[in-house]
Amino acid sequence: MTKGKVFLVGAGPSDAGLLTLKARRLIEAADVILYDSLVGDGVLGLIPPDKRLINVGKRAGHAHMSQEEINRTILEEAQKGIKVVRLKGGDPFMFGRGGEELELLCEHGIPFEIVPGVTSAVAVPAYAGIPVTHRDFCSSVHVITGHLKDDDKPHIDYGSLVKLNGTLVFLMGVGALKSICEGLLLAGMDPEMPAAILEKGTTSEQRRVVSVLKDLPEEAKKQGVRTPAIIIVGKVCGLNDKFHWAEDRPLGGARVIVTRPKELASKLSGRLMEAGAEVLEIPAIQTIAIEDNDRLADALKRLGEYKWIVFTSQAGVDVFFAALKKSRVDIRSLGGLRFAAIGSATEKAIEERGIFVDLVPEKYDGEHLGMALTKLVGQHEKLLIPRARIGSRELTEALDRAFIDYDDIPVYDTLYRNDGVLNLNEILNTKKVDYVAFTSASTVRGFAAAAGDADFSKITAVCIGRQTADAAVQLGMKAVISDEITIESLASKIVELHRRAKAM
């Protein structure tokens, strides 16, 4: 029997930016991924849609699988001779029961690797402005499980912990908060010791309730704190007022859904994350090159007939040059042709092929591209327009009015998608979503197809271009248009909207 291999991978506390490089590489290379409920949505959004997934999630006593079933499933998958990634929130060995999952693998001689993850015991306090150690206050930090035993009490030696005089971090202790605080008080800890409970750390919904030990349970009850959360006790908790930072970022506290195709999402997602947003990449569309495209193949044989090649998207550029290479047409055949691009992103895609663009309209849409071409295209000059099968009519209508000859050739299809691990309908119905970024009307339509019965009136759609905004408004969304038709302007508009919302 061919043996597979298991990778026990820590996904970090939730923020996708805290996922290690090795973890991301293994996620992309895995044959099957077993994930739990503490893996953040941002991390889950990075999983390629073609991966086979098994949800083994457990939280607060509710489980898809028992631990024994999880162990057995990992083994069974590895025995198929495939690459298995067991993706765990936080770090696999920090109360993650990673050791238990390895025992059965060892018994059966299954090879494995451990990929540590950023533990919430350190990351969550850091995002709340609480350093777990500080030379002026303590010299040690101690991480304790607050998980309840069968008698509904955590089995903790409180006396020893109090004597350590260090920072105490309790994981999985929300249900035992009162018992933990009472235990520390009975063991002699100062009732005025600073203490905090930190909810949903490193996400856009993170909250910190900071008090003193004797009052923390009541304060947490007043604030309605729920899992996942960690408890931290120690003088360092008093530093949060000085050191808080996460919510102070321009997009701190904002959750944004990015609907661009995954291969194009990274630039926008990166700008939003740098500004502090929690970003969920949920591609609403996918571009697929048209196979056996006889019309394009014929046009490539007749390049000498054209004076202009007009591109309306990055996808069109990619498909055209891939077809050029596949057809063994030398790029020198493009000599003498002039190039037009609908916007700066498309222009950049062309220039990456070593070709400088002759025309980009002042406003990045089909109508203004067509109008600009009518002023430059000479009599009897013919255009080649390789673009989506369903392209904007505004471009060709402008050309028709000027009696300009062109070949409008479909080179790719735009397909709606709903195949990722993240369930868009569930997210919209159960979680806070502040903004959805749309870069085209097709991404709006794809988003709607995946969203099911979600209430679109609650969605703030931040859009590139009037056509995109019109598509959002037709669905009942509140639409805001970026000042310019660029990714940079789209990101800036989201920052502007969030700044206003925080000021209210």
CB 336 within 8 A of CB 363: no
Q: How far apart are CA 442 and CA 285, in angstroms?
A: 7
Q: How far apart are CA 338 and CA 415, in angstroms?
A: 30
Count of Cβ atoms closer than 10 Å to residue 181 Cβ: 27
Q: Which of 186, 167, 136, 183 is nearest to 231 (CA)?
A: 167
Active-site residue identified among 36, 41, 91, 365: 36
Which segments within 347-428 are labelled E, that is strand?
382-388, 405-416
CB 276 within 8 A of CB 206: no
Helix (H, G, I), strand (E, B) or coil at 348: helix
Q: How far apart are CA 30 and CA 47, in angstroms?
A: 10
Q: What are the Cα distances from residue 61, in Å, to 149, 230, 437?
A: 11, 16, 36
Active-site residue identified among 58, 214, 267, 502: 58
Q: Which of 5, 6, 39, 43 is nearest to 24 (CA)?
A: 43
Say whether 36 is catalytic: yes
Q: How far apart are CA 400 and CA 374, in angstroms?
A: 10
Cβ-based neighbours of 109, under 8 Å, separated by 6 or more: 3
Which residues are designated catalytic?
A: 36, 58
